[in-house]
Amino acid sequence: MKKAARHHGCFVRALPRRTRLAFGALGLYSLAMAAHDPDEAFGKLSHVDAAGRAKMVDVTEKDDTKRQATAGGRIVMRRETLALIQQNGLPKGDVLAVAQIAGVMAAKRTHELIPMCHPLLLTGIDVTLTPNEARTCIEIEATVRTTGKTGVEMEALTAATIAALTVYDMCKAVDRGMRIESMRLKRKAGGKSGDIVLE
On whether the CB atoms of residues 198 and 172 are closer than 8 A, the answer is no
* Strand order across the beta sheet in which 137-148 lies: 122-132, 137-148, 65-76, 179-189, 196-197
Residue type, 10: C
Which of 49, 169, 175, 195 is the catalytic position? Answer: 169
CA distance linking residue 18 with residue 72, whole number of Å: 18
195 has catalytic annotation = no
* Burial track 139-160 (b if 16+ CB lie within 10 A, e otherwise): ebbbbbbbebbbbbbbbbbbbb
159 touches 40 (CB < 8 A): no
Side-chain half-sphere exposure of 179, counting CA atoms within 13 A = 6
Strand, helix or coil at 119? coil
Catalytic residues: 169
